[in-house]
Chain A
């Protein structure tokens, strides 16, 4: 197991290097001069930045300077905001995105497993039809429409009860987080529900469930031990990519709900062509995702003994 983890970590580091390289060269081919911004850059600033990033040197030198900075965990200084380090930006805004993402993943996974199991148990009966209809909605309605509609619903709800229990926008308390996280997780939840449903249906008809029933195991125990535990495995496998989709898919939800997360910050940085912020956020996100996938795979190794043997 430790060997497996070590191997995955080494692979992960190489992957992060690849992401960093792709980011560097993609950003390098952006037309224009990073220092020719609307904001006046004093000659002194220009000289400092050129010295720090080797901007007056050949591309390859710049690349190695960049890699060197990265390996020290230094993402650099924002080009458009004075005295703001990219590390600070990430430190301030990433936790917001992360909390939102974690909540969304929890919603998606819990909802997906629960609803998927329910639809399989009540197959071709009313709960199945209702949930599958909602699943189809979740799969086919874009998240920005859901976000806008849920905001509208919140406004009406709040004015109806003359309270502000679930704020329409902003960030701060858990009450701000619930609805955006739900909207963010809904697409994934729908996907996981479908997955869980088909894997559950496969297991309901399997031999060992029939045997357990024949032995006289109580239905609740069959459900929990024999069906749910086995049916959950495919869901765990796709959880890594799902986390990736949710964390980077946060842009829209952050934009619509005015949440000060990293995704929104990234979009702003792109609009202002803030090179260091764009590069720093991309590499950071990439590294985070690679790490998350490894964590999920390792957890999967603990759950499913078959993986460990390979």
Chain B
């Protein structure tokens, strides 16, 4: 129960007492920011976007590896594999002399290394020559020998040295007897060979794995260069390439929408402000551009700009995106301007002598900014998709410039052997697209009640 005294019935003297502010007043943007912060999904997306931008911009400063540098000791390496290597002597030619003796049949002449795998064998029964095969899998009952790597049409040569892109791991070597017509027979011998990774001291110093003048003997172990996310099919560092690709993908993905939204806002606000016949003509033109089949014209514009040698193809793609994607923003802004034009404050400003430029810039555009920002956010994922899509079919950025799309295109060819080459760029594309989509949803809910998603 509230105690009332006589004083409570006295008239209030000052205005401040009647109209005290209950809460601090919020501007439109402060209010929007407050609502965005309350939206968990949008906030997480915002952090993701910031992280991706840092990944592209700050990343290369932290991880200073040249994205074009090939590490031929580690080609197509998955992340986190063993990177120890043994120092051995320089390669010396081999004349087939067997050092390890006492075995018969197919045998190794020396320990198998990535430098060379040296095989010796005895003449197979009824053979008139031999063919050497290498496989990643055991021969099995269906006699799958793998790839043929050497062929001898007589029984004179009974040795072979394999130096063809030998990677650390397990191989299955087979020799198969050839008949008189040099066709393979079912007589074969097979051995399992486990290959160790080696490097020479000179190579290690050249690749800056050990300091110059380091005292290392044959048989010492060293660590090869670190690749946190593995390497691609040419031995290039995936992390460095993903960062360089992020620069290209995000530059196109954010730069192009920024430019075409800017153009669309200018076009749409002028059309909306002038109105009448000029507006009709301008918007009809926008309708025509909308009708152009988007991807076909992306490709068409790209080839019509022409890409000279040494160019990356980023700029033509940017221009093509701007040319083709502005009408949606223009339409939207025009619609907004048409509504705002009828508002009382515009008439008031006009009465006070405001010029058209001032009216548009001061009164009309700031009121459309919410919608424009939402459009911009939704345009980014579609631009990123378009870039990835075009690079994937080989019509995007030109190699060796990496982009997430072109990296996916390369990775898809090695999907079964080294899936990380596809997974990382594809994951980054997905995360980026998702983050911008969710951020767009959040911004729409926060900025514009009319566009609010009914949820």
Contact = CB atoms under 8 A, between A and B. Distances in A.
B295 A251 contact: yes
A22 B416 CA distance: 43
Interface string A233-254: 0000000000011001101100
A202 B454 contact: yes
A141 B430 contact: yes
B203 interface: no
Instruction: Name, among A19, A140, A286, the residue most crowded by chain B CB atoms within 10 Å (CB to CB).
Output: A140
Given A140-B430, A141-B430, A142-B426, A19 B392 contact: no
- In terms of DSSP, what is the predominant structure of the interface of chain B? helix
A217 interface: no
A76 to B, nearest CB: 16
Interface in B394-446: 394-395, 405, 408-409, 412, 415-416, 422, 426, 429-431, 433-434, 437
B260 interface: no
B291 A15 contact: yes
A286 B408 contact: no
B288 A252 contact: no
B296 interface: yes
B388 interface: yes
A273 B302 CA distance: 12
A143 B318 CA distance: 22
Contacts of A293: 291
A79 interface: no
Interface string A14-56: 0100110011001101111000000000000000000000000
A248 B415 CA distance: 26
A278 B292 contact: no
B287 interface: yes
A27 B292 contact: no
Nearest to B416: A152
A116 to B, nearest CB: 13
Contacts of A19: 288, 291-293
Contacts of B287: 15
B195 to A, nearest CB: 28
Nearest to A202: B454
Given A142-B429, A281-B296, A282-B293, A267 B306 contact: no
Contact of B455 (A141, A142, A198, A266): A198
A184 interface: no
A114 interface: no
Interface in A187-202: 198-199, 201-202
A270 B389 contact: no
Given A144-B408, A145-B426, A148-B415, A139 B437 contact: yes
Given A142-B385, A202-B454, A286-B293, A136 B434 contact: yes
Given A15-B288, A198-B455, A267-B393, A141 B426 contact: yes
A290 interface: yes
Interface in B360-411: 381, 385, 388-389, 392-395, 405, 408-409
A255 interface: yes
Interface residues of A, number: 45
Nearest to B419: A152
Contact of A270 (B395, B412, B415): B395
B281 to A, nearest CB: 13
Q: How large is the interface on B (under 10, 10 to 19, 20 to 34, 35 or more residues)?
A: 35 or more
A142 B381 CA distance: 11
Nearest to A15: B291
A142 B297 contact: no
B296 A198 contact: no
Contacts of B455: 198, 201
B408 A26 contact: no
B111 interface: no
Contacts of A27: 300, 304
A108 interface: no
Nearest to B409: A144
Interface string A196-216: 001101100000000000000
Contact of B292 (A29, A255, A286): A286
B294 interface: yes
23 contacts: A19-B288, A26-B297, A27-B304, A30-B303, A140-B434, A142-B392, A144-B389, A144-B412, A145-B422, A198-B455, A199-B454, A244-B294, A248-B295, A248-B296, A255-B393, A270-B395, A271-B394, A282-B293, A282-B296, A282-B297, A285-B296, A286-B291, A289-B291
Interface of B: 287-288, 291-297, 299-301, 303-304, 306, 381, 385, 388-389, 392-395, 405, 408-409, 412, 415-416, 422, 426, 429-431, 433-434, 437, 453-455
- Which 9 A-B residue pairs are closest in the complex by CB-CB distance? A140-B434, A31-B306, A18-B288, A140-B430, A140-B433, A145-B426, A15-B291, A26-B304, A29-B304
